[in-house]
Amino acid sequence: MRGAPPGWPADLRAPGSDEWIEEATKWLLDLLPGEYRTHAVLRKYPVLLARLALAAVQGSLAQARAAWSRVRVEEKTFMPPPAIEEAIAMLEREGAHFVSREREVTLVLEALERALLLPGA
């Protein structure tokens, strides 16, 4: 078993360890809306699941960035300046979280691609 690469999710076993794919599948499902758990195809094909999770995380990051860019203008009528600054700080923290999560999901996706590559593909 090799060690986990830098940026690997702290709560997942390293790629190549026993049952890491099953663990990664559960972890990825936790990143998506609960309805995704009802689709067997995602458990059967974890690379697809990882791609969907990556798209979801990237969408959340884009949403946080868009909100950050608009909050000063759109909310000044509804929020006092200190609350706007608090909201901006919150969006910056969430953005940093999503950047980190994007890295984690990308690493899991890459490890799954290596582990599950079909013979002859």
Residue 48 near residue 32 (C-beta atoms within 8 A): no
Task: Give the rounded percent of residues in the chain with a pLDDT score beyond 70.
Answer: 98
Asked if the model's pLDDT at residue 97 lies above 50, the reply is: yes
**Segment 2-37, tens digit of pLDDT:** 689 999 999 999 999 999 999 999 999 999 999 999
Domain-located, residue 44: yes
- The residue range of the domain holding 29 is 20-115
Domain-located, residue 104: yes
User: What is the model's pLDDT at position 1?
Assistant: 46
**Segment 34-56, tens digit of pLDDT:** 999 999 999 999 999 999 999 99
The Cα angle at residue 72 between residues 68 and 75, in degrees rounded to 5:
105
Domain-located, residue 1: no
Number of structural domains in the chain: 1
